[in-house]
Structure 1
Amino acid sequence: MNLKNFSLYIVFTMFSIGTFAQTSLLNAKSAADIGIMPLEQILIKAEGPIPYGYVREKDILFGIKVWENISLSEKANEMYLYPLEESLNEGGIGAKSLFKVLLDGIKSGDITEVYDDSDFKRKRNLKDIEDSFVKVDTLDAGLEYLNAGEKVPDEYIQRTELTASDVKEYHIMGMWFFDRNEGQLKYRILGIAPVVADIYTKGSARENYVELFWIFFTDARGTLFQNYAFNAKNPLNPVNFDHLLNARRFSATIYKADNQYGNRKIDEYIKNNDLKRLFEGERIKELIRNLEDDMWNY
């Protein structure tokens, strides 16, 4: 780089810093300054999510996979549901619902590891899953055009598309394991799935809820890191979804775990007894809580 180009680089850098330095709502000198992303936010987003460390198989002394249900009807989990429409926080950072973040990531091609279930064997693309969240019907008045071989006017076509408000819960699958190399109990999310009203039974008396798709979590981390949830406790300090999920900032119940019953769900081997199912989930939680102490005592 010659001296002239280097000088231009320095000038441009200083100009950029000056441009982004006065973006706080309280520090803005004019309304035009509001909504520009602060420099520190640009640097944070540029760094990306913190990479997971490599774990050798022989260093895992104990591990158990668990499937959990994050109910969006609980207040502790409302940051994954709202806002139903994208909104802007101070500094121009857009807050989205988790469902919109995942769906936008799939549509843009940023998220490609999409599967039928948590076994991650049958891969799906946008075209495969589109029928699951979009339904197009022709009204009776439009059938005449269809039968005549003519184009059906738009007013006779009804399009239904699932939105964030249709998401009832999220299912996550992860592993708790004791890392001998670091001498501590760790948790890592492996997959996440939105549970929505089946678009073909939505609004009917037999409305059914299904897992729309499963995403291999590592593939979605970049997208989750770049998108923010609305922080009701401090709206001026939004938190990205990658941090929220990895820090386990949610309330969840275990509905499935590695077990001697072929990894069946709890409600499949404990039938017609909600209290026993609850106790079984708590038993698994207690096993995980005692895992680290048991390893040290061993």
Structure 2
Amino acid sequence: MLKPENPLRGDYSQMRADYTVDQDWAAYTPEEHALYRRLVERQSRKLPGYACDEFIEHVNELLSDGIPLFEVANAILGRATGWQIVGVPGLIPDDVFFTHLANRRFPVTVWLRKPEEFDYIVEPDVFHDFFGHVPLLMNPVFADYLQEYGRGGMKAAALGGLGYLARLYWYTVEFGLIDTPQGLRTYGAGILSSGGEILHCVDSPAPHRVRFDLMRVMQTEYRIDRFQDTYFVIDSYDQLFRETAQDFAPLYARLRGLPIIDPSVTVGGDTLIPLARHHDLNRRSAA
């Protein structure tokens, strides 16, 4: 394997059997710390009115001057919910990922994007993983949901359910919206770490915002190369936990007989959230 241009990026040569690596915090350059601070500053300005309260409540507890030191964050996480983050060199196999989640370990990529990738990056980096995902691990119900998801994932391969489970992760953990008394907010890490989609998912009239339905979510394909055409909206993290803490085997059996739904369309049975209602709630909240 060729040595990557950035020795922290995608270097799997030092990983352990569980795909974890040490975070060589001393190897980050001043320029990388400065870039991370710029990313945090850009995104933090966009959180009010768009990010869920639970994210905003905890994100500042985990901020540091530059790229965070995982062991410091782990002390905070451990006290809050018993979760830990583990360094990984990049994308890891599904079974390894699920095993980490099932044991309350969240894999965080150790390398940072380049300056020219400031607005968009194909693979998750330390900013996406840490800033986008870790704050909600401080919320006990969401933390339990993610563990249940990992436990379900450990069984999914044998049941032919990996594709369906990937859609559930995509439309909740990465790109989920939640309906609050103040209006729509996002809790999805892919949105919370995106400079553009955090505004698009709440304000734009283009996407469909559909009330969460587990079967509908697992039937729906998703986009990886542009903003989402459809977002699914939960009522609470308790709802997520309840939906996940069940036997998925009969659901997978039913899903195999159902068509895959294009994300750009709505179907019969969808409950859509009108954008006007959300904007009205937002105005009242601001007042």
For the pair shown, the structure with the greater C-alpha radius of gyration is: 1
Instruction: Classify the TM-score, shorter chain.
Output: under 0.3
Give the TM-score normalised by structure 2: 0.24
Higher relative contact order (CA 8 A, sep 6+): 1
Give the TM-score normalised by structure 1: 0.23
Q: Where is the strand percentage greater, Structure 1 or Structure 2?
A: 1
Q: Where is the helix percentage greater, Structure 1 or Structure 2?
A: 2
